[in-house]
Chain A
Amino acid sequence: MKKTLLAALFVSAFAQPSLAAGEAKNVIFFLGDGMGPATVTAARIYKYKEEGELNMEKLDGKTRTARVKTFSNDAQTTDSAPSMSAYMTGVKMNNEVISMSPDTKPTKPNGKDSACAANNGKPVDTILELAKAKGKAVGAVTTTTVTHATPAATYAHICHRDAENAIAAQAAVGGLGYNSKLGDGLDVLMGGGWQFFRPTGASGVRTDGRDLIAELQAKGYTYAASGSQLAAVDGKNTSKLLGLFNKSHLSYELDRVKGKLDEPSLKDMTLKAIEVLAKKPEGFFLMVEGGRIDHALHGTNAKKVLDDTIAFDDAIKAALDEMQKRDPGLKNTLIVVTADHDHTMTINGYGKRGSNILGTVKDYKTGAESKDVNGNNYTTLVFGNGPNRKPVRSNLLEGDADKSQVLHDDYQQETGVRLGSETHGGGDVMLFATGAGVASKTFKGTIDNTKVFSLLKSAYGF
């Protein structure tokens, strides 16, 4: 009898996920879109100098850092749809595809309406859906449209990311096209993109005449349309929150602050989301995206890249502090910070320590301007490809009087290969993790992006 009991104990122990001791009740997944290693380093220097640290780099004593391979099912260099989908589902799929099986072929939508054929692949479960099925509160927060690839990969399934009308419908509880895997619906959804929720007659782009905001309000959602409206929401007494603060993407952080725009910061949205979600005794899953880091990188505007990266990092700090209050020591809260892919921005030349990272390269010995073979100076941050390749290079001014000067808000860094739009990079990205006991310590080494899903799942004990 004793032998049987012992055997049962052993069997039971092995049958449990090996991480059961560190089981996470809550997961906050931070995703810096396009935030490759050079962006992380440049943002660190920009805000905290060479010797400093970003908040994301301080997670768990800096020891829980992994490199993530980001290739997609069909591409050496991924786009945000399959890369975020790999994190959320554990499945590699083709570029443009959102949380579907690997055989799904991307089919360009009609405008913003889906053109996916019925037999074109199958939906695959996301970690957000699994969390919902376990009774947890779930949410997604972003600075892009809430229907953009990254947030969409948490709650929607579609053969092409550009079908944002159809993606919005997947979040509209009980309506045509609703994703029933979301049960009673997302508990928090915040970002931009109200045009995909409103009909064409109401300044939206929906061709089916539906007003999804009204539909969601009828289902009990509190709706906020501005930063001040969000600030007025009592999160403690709100269980369903929809916030759409711009017709399209939210503004770049630099424009939001300088223009005193009535849009919430990513930190504001993150804290409000936690307030709403953390009430659930079963715990929660929250995805937070710094989505416009990627857009500024495509535009080869390093200043906006770094400002948006710092705003993302500040949201991480705010979430860490808030969760420490709610869950001291983060015993039951796993926080993961990563990026979905790299870009072609690089840190260039032998610059002097302490130089402005947005400025021109200063020789580390003499402090004099470093020059190219034609005697012209050049910036520290440059891009492998993009639109700003001049037929003839000229000397640069380290001022901000106009956009031709390298410290101006709208200066575009120079590029190597001239392309219409800067591309993503195919290099590995970094991942930082903390909390939930041993769970965060499993994120180590060089791992595939699909592995992140299984580590999240194990951390939850699913």
Chain B
Amino acid sequence: MIEFMSIIRAIFGLALLPALASAASQPQQLSAIMTFESKVLSSEGVEKQTRFQERFIRDGRNVWTVRLLPAGTPPHVHQAGDHQHKHDTNFVLAAKWIALDAQQKAQLKFVRQETKTIITPRTEEFAGLGFDGSWEHAAYLLDRSALQQMRVLSKPAPAGCQWYERSGDKLYTRVLWDQAWQLPRQIETGSLDGLSFNRISIERRPMPATMPWRTLAGYRAVAYEDLLD
């Protein structure tokens, strides 16, 4: 999710239409699986492909994303010394929980089920951890108003959905936007020469019986900066 948002920002830029988010920032409850795929052909003739999935759950005030591990995933290796003073600041396998606070500001926390800890960075540390602080980006995965600056494609799309495209000298971006979900179903980016390609596919799933952020009783709070040194 956090890596994804860096991609989204790279696609849409930071300066786009910040006002819209606060006006309509009550997204519907939604649960989905996001599949991230990339392919690149190197100058040594090696084609490298990556694929991973994350669960995405949101309601009006919370967004929760967490990596899904396929069967057979080898166990996560801790650094030697993790349990002494050196701390693990690799949050790839931690859940990312972004929630609106009382001031309507998006707050980021990492949740580690394994150690029952909730790791809280300072606001000024969000960007360094891949979150730009935007509730719009967190809840809708992009600045919705940026779609208005993209070309509408006549490409076939599911009911209630629309393809958009923006293309530059070397790179293109395509978005399949679902108006009812208020979420993309697909985002594709790549180079026009075909050497690199990225795709994020979003498939809806049933809501969980209990929202994951309501299952954190007994979790210990840890300041992100305590994991440094």
Is A96 engaged at the interface, CB distance under 8 Å to the other chain? yes
The reply to whether A419 and B225 contact each other, CB–CB distance below 8 Å, is: no
**Nearest chain B CB to A376 CB, angstrom units:** 9
A residues 388-430 near B (Cβ < 8 Å) are 391-392, 394, 401-404, 409-410, 412, 419-421, 423
Known: A96-B85, A392-B38, A403-B6. A251 touches B124 (CB 8 A): yes
A421 close to B9 (CB less than 8 A): no
CB 8 Å contact bits of A4-33 with B (1 = contact, 0 = none):
000000000000000000000000000000
> Within the complex, which residue of B14, B84, B90 is in contact with A106, where a contact is CB–CB below 8 Å?
B84
With a CB–CB cut-off of 8 A, which chain A residues contact B86? Answer: 79, 421, 423
Instruction: Check B229 against A392 for contact (C-beta < 8 Å).
Output: no
Listed stretches B39-47, B101-109, B153-161; interface member = B39-47
Query: Is A387's CB under 8 angstroms from B124's CB?
Result: no
Distance (whole angstroms) from the CB of B76 to the closest CB of chain A: 10
Counting contact residues on chain B (CB < 8 A from A), the size range is 35 or more
Task: Determine, out of A219-227, A293-301, A350-358, the stretch whose residues face the partner at the interface.
Answer: A293-301
CB distance from A231 to the nearest CB of B (A): 22
- Given contacts A255-B124, A298-B89, A420-B90, A402 and B9 within 8 Å (CB-CB): yes
Nearest to A418 among chain B residues (CB) is B90
Q: How many A residues touch the partner, as a band?
A: 35 or more
Total A-B contacts with CB atoms under 8 angstroms apart: 96
B127 A403 Cβ-Cβ under 8 A: yes
Q: How far is the CA of A44 from the CA of B101 in the complex (A)?
A: 42
B44 close to A374 (CB less than 8 A)? yes
Residues of A within 8 A of B228 (CB): 294-295, 298-299, 421
- Contact flag A421-B124 (CB < 8 Å), given A375-B43, A394-B196: no
Would you call B227 and A421 a contact (CB within 8 A)? yes
CA distance A149 to B85 in the complex (A): 11
Give the docked Cα–Cα distance between A373 and B44 (Å).
8
Contact digits for B123-146, partner A, Cβ 8 Å, 1 yes 0 no: 010011010100000000000000
A77 to chain B, nearest CB (A): 10
A86–chain B nearest beta-carbon distance, Å: 17
Q: Given contacts A249-B225, A295-B228, A403-B127, is CB(A374)–CB(B79) below 8 Å?
A: no
Residues of B with C-beta under 8 A to A294:
228-229
B88 within 8 A of A: yes
Using CB atoms, name the residue of chain B closest to A149. Answer: B229
- Contact yes or no, B88 A259, CB < 8 A: no
Query: Which of B42, B44, B89, B223 is in CB contact (< 8 Å) with A387?
Result: B89
Residues from chain B with a CB closer than 8 A to the CB of A391 are 38, 48, 50
Could you tell me the distance in whole angstroms from the C-beta of A35 to the nearest C-beta in chain B? Answer: 14
Looking at the assembled complex, report how far the CB atom of A288 sits from the nearest CB atom of chain B, in whole angstroms: 18
Produce 1/0 per residue, A354-381, CB < 8 A to B.
Answer: 0000000000000000000111000000
Least distance between A46 CB and chain B CB atoms (Å): 19
A161 contacts B89, C-beta separation under 8 Å: no
A80, B127: Cβ atoms closer than 8 Å: no
Residue of B nearest to A391 (CB): B50
For chain A, residues 144 to 190, give those with C-beta under 8 angstroms from any C-beta of chain B.
Answer: 148-149, 160-162
Q: Say whether A95 faces chain B, with CB atoms less than 8 Å apart.
A: yes
Distance in Å: Cβ of A414 to nearest Cβ of chain B: 14
Nearest-Cβ distance from residue B45 to partner chain A, whole angstroms: 11
B2-24 interface with A by 8 A CB criterion: 6, 9-10, 13-14
Q: Does A73 contact B (CB under 8 A)?
A: no
Closest A residue to B14 by CB, please name it: A402
Q: Is there contact, CB below 8 Å, between A108 and B83? A: yes
Q: If the complex has contacts A95-B84, A402-B14, are A419 and B79 also in contact, measured as CB distance less than 8 A?
A: yes
Contact B48 A392 (CB under 8 A): yes
Q: How far is the CB of A85 from chain B (nearest CB, A)?
A: 14
Give the complex CA separation of A440 and B173 in angstroms. 62
The answer to whether A404 and B10 touch (CB under 8 A), given A373-B43, A421-B228, is yes
The answer, yes or no, to whether B67 is at the interface (CB within 8 Å) is: no
Q: How far is the CA of A95 from the CA of B84 in the complex (A)?
A: 9
The complex places the Cα of A82 from the Cα of B127 at a distance, in Å, of 33
Known: A248-B223, A401-B13. 13 other contacts (CB 8 A): A95-B84, A148-B229, A248-B226, A298-B89, A298-B229, A374-B44, A402-B6, A402-B10, A402-B13, A402-B14, A403-B6, A420-B87, A421-B227
| 19 A-B contacts (beta carbon < 8 Å) | A79-B85, A79-B229, A106-B84, A248-B223, A252-B124, A255-B124, A295-B229, A299-B228, A375-B43, A387-B90, A392-B48, A394-B40, A402-B6, A402-B9, A402-B13, A402-B132, A412-B128, A420-B78, A420-B79
- Sorted from nearest, which 8 A-B pairs have the closest CB atoms? A420-B90, A420-B88, A410-B127, A295-B228, A421-B89, A410-B128, A374-B42, A255-B124
Q: Give me the interface of A with B, judged by CB distance under 8 Å.
A: 79-81, 95-96, 106, 108, 148-149, 160-162, 248-249, 251-252, 255, 259, 294-295, 298-299, 301, 373-375, 387, 391-392, 394, 401-404, 409-410, 412, 419-421, 423
Name B residues whose Cβ lies closer than 8 Å to a Cβ of A: 6, 9-10, 13-14, 38, 40, 42-44, 48, 50, 78-79, 82-90, 124, 127-128, 130, 132, 196, 223, 225-229
